[in-house]
Amino acid sequence: MSDVRSLGGLEVEVVAGRTEPVLAIHGVSSNRRLWNWLRAEAPELSLIAPDLRGRGGSVGVGGPSSVARHAEDMVAVLDALDLESVSVCGMSMGGFVAVALATAHPDRVRDLVLVDGGFPMSVHEGVTEDGVRAAFTAQASRVGRTFTDVDEYADFVLPGMPLLDRDDPLLRDYLVHDLADGRVRLDPGILVADATDTILGPSSWRQLDRPTRLVYAEWSTGEGSAPAYPPDRVAQLAAELPALQATELVEGVDHAASIMTRRGAAVVAEHLRTL
């Protein structure tokens, strides 16, 4: 059972389950249906899954936007639900938002599961602001197009996610949620601002004191690509940050597939069950 509500100014899907609620925060160019695979693997989980400002059902919620602003939006969602403290699961930029939330408002976060995000990424070392803006401006070009159907949209976006199964009905549902009348529900200015802040902005991860788990992918984009988090970097993070209590490498997946496949979602589900 789930229902969609307007909470804290955002469109939020609240999924009823048998557990204490988990706030699930999606990535920079994603939407709340990112959690389809987690729901399939762990139907017992109670989830609070917002569309972040500028995406999906929250596309009309404008900027300015940043990781810190998203964290404050999450506080507003929790306030609207009368929840004092929750477990938080964040993927990619959602992991950075989760860390910002846990460090700015530690009383609102019990613990965290971060999925290929939340800490500075090796693949971003040496990237300039111009480079980030160029890359994500190109990614935002889909906003200016009209797609005849979800299959045409899949043709456009899936080459950048090569390990996903085009025939997966969970993926189709995710892509459908991006669209309204053939247009992508994404604010390009917010996308670029958020990407720039995530990659180049300040991070409070060293202040993190909530129990934290990191699930990370073997590759970044496709088989053999350099990972966001090489194992030696993860070991260094664990040595420097006592709050990072568990880490797990998911072999055979890349960044997107770390949550958008049953294989990746199963690992994430097991870490959420241990909280």
pLDDT tens, residue by residue, 155-196: 999 999 999 999 999 999 999 999 999 999 999 999 999 999
- Given a contact cutoff of 8 angstroms between Cβ atoms, the answer to whether 245 and 258 are in contact is no
Rounded to the nearest integer, the mean pLDDT of the chain is 97
User: Which tokens belong to 270?
Assistant: 């097991």
6: buried, middle or exposed (CB in 10 Å: 19+, 13-18, 0-12)? Answer: exposed
43 three-state secondary structure? coil
**Total domain count, the chain:** 1
**Residue pLDDT, tens place only, 69-122:** 999 999 999 999 999 999 999 999 999 999 999 999 999 999 999 999 999 999
Distance of CA 114 to the CA centre of its chain: 9
| Average pLDDT score over residue span 204-231 | 98
Q: In which domain, by residue range, is 251 found?
A: 2-273
pTM above 0.95, yes or no: yes
For residues 42-70, average pLDDT: 97
Please check the confidence at residue 140 and state whether its pLDDT lies above 90: no
For position 29, what pLDDT does the model report?
95
Percent of the chain with pLDDT over 90: 95
Please determine, for residue 60, whether its predicted confidence score (pLDDT) is greater than 90: yes
Contacts 24+ apart (CB under 8 A), 159-163: 160/221, 161/221, 161/254, 161/256, 161/257, 161/260, 162/221, 162/222, 162/223, 162/254, 163/222, 163/223, 163/253, 163/254, 163/256, 163/257, 163/261
pLDDT at 86 (0 to 100):
98
Q: Give the model's confidence band at 41: pLDDT under 50 very low, under 70 low, under 90 confident, else very high.
A: very high
CATH number of the domain to which 225 belongs: 3.40.50.1820
Would the CA dihedral through 254, 258, 259, 264 be positive or negative? positive
123 has a pLDDT exceeding 90: no
pLDDT at 48: 98
pLDDT at 139: 85
